[in-house]
């Protein structure tokens, strides 16, 4: 999302050549969701450019291609998976977690398929799974089943918290669009590993977004005090101010955990002037 149109010239400098855009984003936030990899595996040369623009501790959470997760549903997908893993090699440690987002139709009865898939994955990467079938959140047996499989594989369960978003009716075009597309599931805030990943969706109204994330501030503070190293992604329906909000979330956590490292100073969006 480092080329999001709403940020250009306001939060990020514009125009920027393609090989500089991520560098500017990385001065705002120290992690990014790799959602575009779901639709197409990038060229290795493109990924090498991503590595060149970021520090070694920058975190990419990259989504596995849809041919693996949605079309093949984790079976007979070795070729596509191999191409993807080869393409992201230049990232090295920056590939913090590979994100296995499963379709809403992937049910508790499909968990054995996931277990087999996870067992065959190379140990060179960390893995995090996002499920959207309601039974995983409402049926205690299904929850335990999935948690057991993920724990055995040292994989994380990514919650996508939309509870704040669905707390009130949509009030903008972006919210109305998201209303029909985003999953409406109970909130989950249990970490299975020492590096949990959270996806949070607020509202276009910043005050409502901040109010809705207070639960996560408490959870993340506890995780940090336990020695965990969480990655939190803050979204709104239009994402116009997402980097600003992400830094505000970090500030709220850091106010309670002062030893947490500060975020970098954002690069100016406009060129410096003499006056």
Phi, psi of 130 (to 5 degrees): -115, 120
**Residue 84 near residue 65 (C-beta atoms within 8 A):** yes
Reduced to 3 states (helix: H, G, I; strand: E, B; else coil), residue 101 is strand
For residue 43, what are its two tokens?
């060229």
Average pLDDT taken over every residue of the chain: 96
Phi, psi of 227 (to 5 degrees): 95, 10
Report the run of H or E that residue 235 belongs to, with start and end.
Answer: strand 231-235
**What is the tens place of the pLDDT at every residue in 5-38?**
999 999 999 999 888 999 999 999 999 999 999 9
**Residue 105 near residue 74 (C-beta atoms within 8 A):** no
When pLDDT is averaged across residues 86-98 and rounded to a whole number, the result is: 97
Confidence of residue 271 (pLDDT cuts 50, 70, 90): low
When pLDDT is averaged across residues 141-150 and rounded to a whole number, the result is: 98
Position 182 pLDDT exceeds 90: yes
**What is the tens place of the pLDDT at every residue in 41-80?**
999 999 999 999 999 999 999 999 999 999 999 999 999 9
**What is the tens place of the pLDDT at every residue in 183-202?**
999 999 999 999 999 999 99
Report the run of H or E that residue 62 belongs to, with start and end.
Answer: strand 59-63
**What is the tens place of the pLDDT at every residue in 206-260?**
999 999 999 999 999 999 999 999 999 999 999 999 999 999 999 999 999 999 9
User: What is the reported pLDDT for 270?
Assistant: 75
Burial class (CB in 10 A: 0-12, 13-18, 19+), 224: middle
**Residue 37 near residue 6 (C-beta atoms within 8 A):** no
Position 39 pLDDT exceeds 60: yes
15 prior amide bond cis, ω within 30: yes
User: What is the reported pLDDT for 215?
Assistant: 98
**Residue 191 near residue 230 (C-beta atoms within 8 A):** yes
Between strands 95-101 and 127-130, the pairing is parallel
Residue 120 has, within 13 A of its CA and on its CB side, a CA count of 13
User: What is the reported pLDDT for 18?
Assistant: 84
For residue 144, what are its two tokens?
């335990």
User: What is the reported pLDDT for 19?
Assistant: 87
**Global pTM exceeds 0.85:** yes
Sorted by sequence, the CB contacts under 8 Å of residue 70 that are 6+ apart come out as 102, 103
Residue 68 has, within 13 A of its CA and on its CB side, a CA count of 25
Burial class (CB in 10 A: 0-12, 13-18, 19+), 109: exposed
User: What is the reported pLDDT for 96?
Assistant: 94
**Residue 147 near residue 107 (C-beta atoms within 8 A):** no
DSSP annotation of 267 reads P
Sign of CA dihedral 50, 82, 68, 232: negative
Confidence of residue 82 (pLDDT cuts 50, 70, 90): very high
Query: Measuring CA to CA, which residue among 148, 85, 138 is closest to residue 111?
Result: 148
């Amino acid at each position: 999302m480092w080329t999001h149109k709403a940020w250009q010239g306001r939060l990020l400098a514009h125009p920027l050549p393609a090989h500089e855009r991520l560098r500017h984003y990385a001065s705002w936030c120290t992690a990014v969701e790799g959602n575009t990899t779901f639709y197409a595996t990038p060229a290795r040369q493109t990924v090498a450019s991503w590595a060149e623009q970021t520090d070694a501790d920058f975190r990419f959470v990259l989504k596995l291609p849809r041919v693996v997760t949605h079309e093949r549903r984790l079976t007979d997908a070795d070729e596509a998976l191999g191409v993807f893993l080869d393409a992201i090699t230049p990232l090295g440690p920056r590939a913090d977690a590979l994100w296995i987002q499963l379709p809403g139709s992937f049910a508790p009865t499909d968990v054995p398929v996931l277990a087999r898939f996870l067992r065959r994955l190379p140990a060179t990467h960390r893995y995090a799974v996002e499920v959207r079938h309601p039974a995983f959140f409402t049926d205690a047996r299904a929850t335990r089943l999935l948690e057991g499989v993920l724990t055995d594989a040292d994989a994380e369960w990514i919650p996508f918290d939309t509870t704040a978003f669905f707390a009130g009716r949509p009030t903008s075009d972006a919210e109305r669009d998201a209303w029909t597309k985003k999953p409406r599931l109970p909130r989950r805030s249990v970490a299975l590993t020492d590096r949990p990943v959270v996806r949070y969706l607020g509202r276009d109204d910043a005050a409502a977004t901040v109010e809705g994330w207070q639960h996560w501030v408490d959870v993340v503070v506890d995780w940090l005090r336990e020695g965990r190293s969480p990655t939190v992604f803050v979204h709104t329906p239009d994402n116009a101010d997402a980097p600003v909000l992400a830094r505000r979330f970090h500030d709220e956590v850091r106010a309670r955990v002062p030893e947490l490292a500060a975020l970098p100073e954002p690069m100016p969006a406009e060129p410096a002037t003499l006056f």
